[in-house]
Each structure stands twice: as structure tokens, then as C-alpha cells.
Amino acid sequence: MYKKVLYNIIILLIAILNDGCKDNNRTEDKVIAEVGSKKLLLSEIAAVVPDEIDDKDSAVFAEDYIRKWIRQELMLKKAEENLSIELKNVNRELEEYRNSLIIFRYKNELMAQRMDTTVSKAEILKYYNDYLENFKLNTNIVKAIYIKIPAEFANPEELKKMSSNSTQEGIDEIRDYCLQYAKGFDIFTEQWVDVERVMNNIPTTIKNMEQFLRNNKYIEYQDSSFYYLVAIHDYLLRNEQSPEEFVRQDIKNLILNRRKMEFLKNLENNIYQEGINRNSFKIYNSELNET
């Protein structure tokens, strides 16, 4: 019986959606589900069903929404029946949440309007040098060229030779070649990247990456369709000193976070001082009932 009723509801909902009618003035609203005194209306379901999905997906979405609504209302009803008046009184929590949310939004608005978010290269470099010991690598990083080439075009020795040339002329040559023949490629010769980012493109694994990097200049793999090559131009191992450029964005975020904390601290202090200057608050002596 339940499934039949739900089916009829969904058919009605789809008809309304197909008619382009989510307007309550054109369609008589219907109660779709009821738990205690709470009612779920057809218009409420129609309002949340995405316009872009087809009839089948609309039906699935509507059915899921109805089931979740019923479960939630049943749980709420049971809680209302069994909790004490004290536990059901959430006014204080709601007020605290409202206050926190308003303050949060106000602070964000002020930061967006007034806080300087420009971080110079000099600031980043100074922070890096001041806290050098904090920037040890927690992963292996490389400068490299990655190529995925169809097997019929692959000439491993020639590709190794081309991809090992780190001059601008060599980089231009390998890029032009890859644009013509490669199924996929990346050139990381001007930036450090996590070696795992490169390895994610190759359907093979290396058990001891640190040892491998110490002893090899190339990572190769070939299957029936493609030849994969990584030409390693440089590498640094886990626990070695991180290059400044590799942690540059992290340092920028740290500087901005410190600046944000200072901004908010000053904001609170300034508002408090303004309150003192304007006599905006009073503190009473609880024993003498005096300020």
C-alpha cells in the first residue's frame, strides 16, 4: 500500500515538473506525507527537485526526499515526547549560535574590506630563512618530464635523449614532439613536484622510491598500447631541506593566517576600547550593586 501511494505521488510530481509548473497558484497543493501535526507538501518536494534531471532521476530524488523527511520527523517527534522541558529548551544555544554567526560574518566582511592580502617575495623569503628548520620535506620531489606515447610511435632511446635536454631549445623540442604524438605529457623542469604526482600517471609502482631516485634517471613502463617515460632532471628526498619555491604557497598562507590573527586581535581590542570611551557598558559590583 505504501509503495503504491508513493508511486502515485511520484507520478503526480513528474507530471507537474514536466508541465513546468512549480507555481502553487496553478496547482492545488497536496499533502504528501504527515507525521503528527507536521505535513510535507507536494510544492515543497517540487521546489527541491533539480530542473535538469530526467523523469527517472526525479522519481528517485523525490522518493529519497520523502523517506528522509519522514525519518527526520519521526525522530524529532520521539525526541519531543521523551526529552524533559529543560533539554528541549534550545533558546540559549540558538542565541549563542546566532551571535557567533553574526560576529563571524562581520569579521569576514571587515577582513575582506581592510586586511592587506598582498604578500611580497621578500616577506616569503624572510619567513623561509627565519624558520628554515620547519621546512623539511615530508615527501620525495622531482623536476622531471613525463610522456605517454602510443606504442607504435615509441622510440625509447630517442625519447630519453630528447627529454633529458634541459635547455630551452630542448624543452621546446620535446613539447612540440609531444603535442604531435603524445597521448599525455607534463613538463616539470621549472618547478618541483611531488614524485607521486608524476607516478599517478604511470600504471606501475616503485617500492623504494628514495633508492630508485638515487640510482636512476628514468622511470619506464610499457604495455601493449603505450610507452611511459619519466625523465628525472633533479630530485630531493624526504627529510632534506625543502626548496623555498616548493613551500612558497604554504608560507604565504602562514603569513596571511598570522596577519589575520593580528587583525582580529586588534579589531576586538579597538571595539573594546571604543566601548570604554563611549561608556557603552557597565560592570556592577554584585555586593554593593554599584558600577
Regarding whether 144 and 232 lie in a shared domain, the answer is yes
Query: Mean pLDDT, 10 residues at a time, over the chain (291 residues)?
Result: 55 58 56 90 87 80 91 93 89 93 96 96 97 96 97 92 94 95 95 95 94 96 95 97 97 97 97 93 72 56
CATH of the domain at 232: 3.10.50
In a domain, 289, yes or no: no
pLDDT at 22 (0 to 100)? 47
Q: In this structure, which amino acid lies at residue 100?
A: S
**0.85 exceeded by the pTM?**
no
Last residue in a domain, options 57, 82, 107: 82
Domain that holds residue 71: 2-82
Last residue in a domain, options 40, 63, 82: 82
Question: How many folded domains does the chain comprise?
Answer: 2
In a domain, 183, yes or no: yes
Regarding whether 78 and 141 lie in a shared domain, the answer is no
In a domain, 264, yes or no: no
